Amino acid sequence: MCLACEQQEYFFRLWCEDFLARGEIPPGLTAEDLQALGLPPPKPAASGGKQELPKRPAGAANAFACDSPDE
């Protein structure tokens, strides 16, 4: 994996963890996506109300694609 890919993956995980810390699912992701990334489900909201999942946007949240050859 090239350095740009590693940095993009790292910052994407930080972005996701920020939402999870607030008890939210990152936009464009599902619980299955979080599980595939090895991230825990969001913590329950303090309000006790049912949390509504955001709708998946038309474009992917992780649109970066590396075109460098594997070594």
Domain boundaries, the chain: 13-44
The backbone torsions φ and ψ at residue 21, rounded to the nearest 5 degrees and listed phi first, read -65, -30
pTM for the structure as a whole:
0.56
**pLDDT digits 0-9 by tens, 12-25:** 989 998 988 888 88
Per-residue pLDDT tens over the stretch 18-58: 988 888 888 888 888 888 888 888 776 555 555 565 565 55
CA distance 36 to 34: 5
- Name every residue whose Cβ is closer than 8 Å to that of residue 21 and which is 6 or more positions away in sequence: 43
8 A C-beta contact, residue 12 and residue 62? yes
